[in-house]
Structure 1
Amino acid sequence: MADTPFVHLHCHTDYSLLDGACEISQLMDTVAEQKMPAVAMTDHGNLFGAVQFYNTAQAKGIHPVIGCEVYVSQQGHKTRAESDRYNHLVLLCENQEG
């Protein structure tokens, strides 16, 4: 039986301020070394590294999955309740349509 490939779908790069310490080039080296077919970038609230992530992955033959970890508040952005403190949602793009 062939091994089922493993893919990380929740990775923060150094573009996730105060949370990610992984440089994109080092991430891609590790993904290639581990023979993973794909990897997702899900930085906190931004897509600043998306172009570098995409280009570096393509150059190494890795399928890049662009994503973002966004913040969600049940009460809206004007009210900050203690229960809203850790509501994060990871969004992954399948293609240019969604």
Structure 2
Amino acid sequence: MAFVHLHTHSEYSLLDGANRIPDLLDRVQALGMDSLAITDHGNLHGAWQFYTEAKARNVRPILGFEAYLAFGSRLKRERPTDAPAVYSHLVLLARNRRGYHNLVKLSSIGFLEGYYRRPRIDRE
């Protein structure tokens, strides 16, 4: 059974990821892996670069991001008194084009409506 990394940060995970996409793909190929997921923090900024470079190398790109899930409403701009933190993490992966479009929508909501320290989404 093949192994695939499904939670990988790239240079687009600001202050957290140092992996450059070409270097990640070099390593994937060196290890004989055929797929890789990129799940940057709160965004899909590297999705296009990752997708096009992975396809050019015959590596199956799995697009996703690590969402910041707000405790309570994403619209509230303060820390909930009954929650241990402002947000938690949730890795989201796209299965197909529709899934990718849903991820784009969620990422946009996080930046446009839920931004409080991080681009947060909620269960709404």
Aligned partner of residue 87 in structure 1, secondary structure? strand
Task: Give the Cα–Cα distance (whole angstroms) in 2 for the partners of residues 15 and 41 of structure 1.
Answer: 10
Q: Deviations 1:13-49 (Å, cap 9, x if unpaired)?
A: 0000000000000000000111111000000111111
Task: Give the Cα–Cα distance (whole angstroms) in 2 for the partners of residues 25 and 37 of structure 1.
Answer: 15
Match of 2:26 in 1: 29
Task: Give the Cα–Cα distance (whole angstroms) in 2 for the partners of residues 20 and 61 of structure 1.
Answer: 24
Q: Deviations 1:53-77 (Å, cap 9, x if unpaired)?
A: 0011011110000001011122223
Given the alignment of the two structures, is residue 76 of structure 1 paired with residue 73 of structure 2, yes or no? yes
Q: Which ranges in structure 2 are unaligned for 5 or more consecutive residues? A: 100-124
Match of 2:35 in 1: 38
Match of 2:57 in 1: 60
Task: Give the Cα–Cα distance (whole angstroms) in 2 for the partners of residues 86 and 48 of structure 1.
Answer: 21
TM-score, normalization by structure 1: 0.90
Q: Which ranges in structure 1 are unaligned for 5 or more consecutive residues? A: none
Q: How many residues are aligned here?
A: 95
Aligned partner of residue 90 in structure 1, secondary structure? strand
Task: Give the Cα–Cα distance (whole angstroms) in 2 for the partners of residues 24 and 40 of structure 1.
Answer: 11
More helix by share: 2
After TM superposition, the structure 1 stretch with the greater mean CA deviation from structure 2, 24-33 or 70-79, is: 70-79
TM-score, normalization by structure 2: 0.72
Task: Give the Cα–Cα distance (whole angstroms) in 2 for the partners of residues 56 and 75 of structure 1.
Answer: 38
